[in-house]
Amino acid sequence: MKKNILPAVLLFMCASLWGQSFDKASKGGAAAQFLKIPISPRTSAMGEASAADMKDASAIDINPACLMNLRKDSFYFSHSQYLADSSLNYLAYAQNMGEEVGAWGLSFKYLGWGKMDNTDDTGGKIKSLSPYDLSIGVTFATYISGFNADEEDRFVFGGTGKVVRSQILNSASAISADLGFLTPYMLDRKFRMSLSASNIMGTMKMDKESFPLPLIIRLGGAAFITDDFKMTSDIIAPNDSFMYFALGCESRIRIAQKTELFIRAGANTKNLFDISGLKNLTGGLGFRYYEYHFDYSFSPYGELGNIHRIAISMNY
């Protein structure tokens, strides 16, 4: 039964792309833009290129199929001090229950926009507002091929169902889903590819108009150059702007038994012509001590300022 999932889901993904423009002419045509903001410092530090190589519960936000990479349990929390007074928080838990069952996870993503004043026509203050966006998701991942082969030689499928909500003066909600795939390891298990589609359905009615959620397609690859150095690349195509290319690398320094330092860097072509100043280059650090992980990333955003992200996770 599981072996027949792959062509059916790929057909569904192709149908969801039908009629999408994927160009700059569609900018501003999608609601819930916070769904496009990466929550993981590791992903951000590597230029947003990580869809084929994620090993903690943050995978739910990029490629749910990566949950099969978990050792067993993963608890993940991240905080991003975003632009102006806004901040993004993410909380997730995931568990790999074994090759016969699969992996599952729960996630909560929240963007707070800070305090804003609601004014009348004369500019007088009516009341203070605290706008926010949030999504709550449930994820499942499993192997879908090669059950007589090693785990590294199987295709993986993952899917997320989620509820999305935005609140300004009034609120709007939508139900959506994400899909993700991982290929088996290739080239003597030195390379792997992924395909994912986020927010494949759902619309939000803001005032009198309805807007679709931002569909995001990612084609990713990860090259494991040595045991301590890897390179990643993603082609990322949102349906409300041009597609862009992302490239990242990660180097691991073994300090002691179960104590490691990670140095990360990346670049992408996102907002290449929309923002002036230093942008598109990212970097960050990671530190592992036994089951505990700490990650930090720095993302310059040109004239709009800098974005700092931190995350704490337990993977055991």
Average pLDDT over residues 7-14: 55
Structural domains of the chain, ranges and CATH numbers in brackets: 2-315 (2.40.160.60)
At residue 1, the pLDDT reads 42
Alpha-carbon span 266 to 261, nearest angstrom? 17
Query: Is the pTM of the predicted complex or chain greater than 0.95?
Result: no
Over residues 235-263, the mean pLDDT reads 95
How many percent of the chain have pLDDT more than 70? 88
pLDDT digits (tens, 9 = 90+) for 194-243: 999 999 999 998 777 889 999 999 999 999 999 999 999 999 999 988 89
Q: Where are the beta strands (DSSP E) in the chain?
A: 73-81, 87-96, 103-112, 116-119, 125-129, 132-143, 156-167, 171-182, 191-198, 203-206, 209-212, 216-226, 229-238, 244-256, 259-268, 281-289, 292-300, 306-315
